[in-house]
Amino acid sequence: MMKCRSCCEFIKESSTIDEIEYFVCPACGETIEIDISPKKLDLNILHRKGSDNTRESYSSDFMINGQSLLADIVRNAGGRGDFLGCFARGWDNLNDHSLKQLLLQAPPETESGRNLIYVCPECADIGCGAYGCKITKTDNEYIWIDFAYENGYEEPEPIHGIGPFKFSATEYENVITRAFAL
């Protein structure tokens, strides 16, 4: 299901041609194209400088086809950008929790069913706001879809124009394991 960007109606049906999924809004006719081809997942390090009022951190930033996922999310979500990746140096509890969630060994902690990938850089609590997505797995792929900003007490704010992303299971598990070792 997709929400039309023009009239906000829900589009229930789609067609896939090659590796593009097409949604046509029955109300206004807008066509939305989603590239569902497999993507290259990699890892970069986010460095947040510390100060008297902020905590210095080194954390994970996922790179998709060479582009920072956090930068793409911030650009599409309206500018909230001060986040900690879900794997961070010195945050053992967060890292253990993130490893289990991103490898689907534990259920998501959110009511929406999203796994958190970028969290508050001071406390990692969803109440301060976080970015997440729904993660599924097939035999050879992990899929990230339905990205949103959420805080646990208001309705999640969907982020349009990000995902879905399909990753080779082997590559994905290797990147998640490297991020965990941060």
Specify whether 122 is located in the same domain as 50: yes
Between CA 88 and CA 47 the distance in angstroms is 10
Specify whether 25 is located in the same domain as 68: no
Specify whether 32 is located in the same domain as 65: no
- The domain tally of the chain equals 2
* pLDDT at site 56: 84
Residue type, 5: R
Tens place of pLDDT for every residue, the chain, 182 residues? 667 778 878 888 888 888 778 888 889 988 877 777 778 999 999 888 877 777 889 999 999 999 999 999 999 887 777 899 999 999 999 999 999 999 999 999 899 999 999 998 989 899 999 999 999 998 899 999 999 999 989 999 999 888 889 999 999 999 999 999 98
Specify whether 20 is located in the same domain as 80: no
Specify whether 28 is located in the same domain as 88: no
Specify whether 142 is located in the same domain as 82: yes
List the structure tokens of 23. 């949604």
Specify whether 90 is located in the same domain as 27: no
- The SS3 call for residue 170 is helix
Stated pTM of the model: 0.80
Specify whether 123 is located in the same domain as 160: yes
Structural domain containing residue 54: 39-180
Between CA 69 and CA 53 the distance in angstroms is 26
Specify whether 21 is located in the same domain as 50: no
| Distant-in-sequence, close-in-space partners of 118: CB < 8 Å, separation ≥ 6 | 70, 73, 83, 84, 85, 86, 130, 131, 132
Longest dimension (CA), the chain: 54
Between CA 17 and CA 156 the distance in angstroms is 31
